[in-house]
Amino acid sequence: MSVTLDDQKLDALFTALSDRTRRDIVARLTTGQATVKELAEPYAMSMQAVSQHIRVLERAGLISQGRHRQSRPCRLEPAALDAALSWIEQSRQAWADRLDRLETHLAHLQEG
């Protein structure tokens, strides 16, 4: 089975979201952009550790950093979630179809 670019994007996205701190950072950025310092405030970890989390989120395309004077505000890139949402919806639909077929099959067996 070959790995496509879409597979690599999904792997990076789900890997980034597999960590609670990174999910918290994404959730915080839904309210608007924030500096690394602001994002680090709720955590008992170094700025370097928070910066590493931010780099993982950036590589996954979930956030971007701009430049404003001396700061580098982070902002959410919600379009990056489209690939994950599409994959989740396709998987949900496939399982719903399978369960519907199973239910029909079981109903026929009971009638039978």
User: How many domains is the chain built from?
Assistant: 1
Query: In 3-state terms, the chain is what percent helix, strand and coil (to 5)?
Result: 65, 10, 25
Distances, alpha carbon 54 to alpha carbons 49, 63, 81, in Å? 9, 8, 16
Q: Is the pTM of this model over 0.75?
A: yes
Q: How far apart are CA 94 and CA 90, in angstroms?
A: 6
Task: Please give the pLDDT value at position 6.
Answer: 81
Domain containing residue 45: CATH number = 1.10.10.10
Q: Domain limits at 87?
A: 5-111
Per-residue pLDDT of 17-49, as tens digits, reads: 999 999 999 999 999 999 999 999 999 999 999
The band of 5, judged by pLDDT with boundaries at 50, 70 and 90, is low
